[in-house]
Amino acid sequence: MPLPFIDDSPLAWLQPLILAGVLLLTIILMLRQAGEMKRLEEAASRRREFITILDCGGREVRRPFREGEYVGAEAEGCDGGAGVVKAIVVKPEEEKRERAKGIRGLLRL
């Protein structure tokens, strides 16, 4: 009894091969997407640290951000008076991400 998806054409052997290739590609893309989602969740869970840069008459002072500050506002923090908020920045993380080994490294391409 012949299989229903194979006919007598000379290229009939390609059908199961193409089906297996599409299935393998789907599984690889699904694993890659799951890894990317996990990486995004880890990045979102990290707490960002903001710092305020004050201009104290030509001298810069860096200190932790306080709620309600905005660029151009006067804020306490300079020696003997208030300074102008020059910038509010995210403190850079000095974390180096190593490239995954094994199958995870292959999927990251």
Average pLDDT, the chain: 77
pLDDT recorded at residue 34: 94
**Domain assignment of residue 36, given as a range:** 10-46
Pair (37, 67) in one structural domain: no
- Predicted pLDDT at 73: 82
| ∠ Cα 30 36 40 (to 5°) | 145
Asked whether residue 65 is assigned to any structural domain, the reply reads: yes
- Predicted confidence at residue 77, as pLDDT, reads 73
- Total number of domains constituting the chain: 2
pLDDT for residue 29: 96
CA angle 109, 101, 24 (to 5 degrees): 55
- Same domain for 51 and 26: no
Q: From CA 80, how far away is CA 17, in angstroms rounded? A: 78
Whose CA is closest to 54, among 35, 31, 70?
A: 70
pLDDT of residue 12: 76
Whether 42 is covered by a domain: the verdict is yes
pLDDT lower than 70: segments of the chain:
1-7, 91-109
Q: Are residues 17 and 29 in the same domain?
A: yes
pLDDT score of 24: 97
pLDDT for position 30: 97
What contacts 5, CB < 8 A, 6 or more positions away?
15, 16
d(CA 96, CA 57): 37
Residue 71 pLDDT:
84
**Tokens describing residue 5:** 């998806």
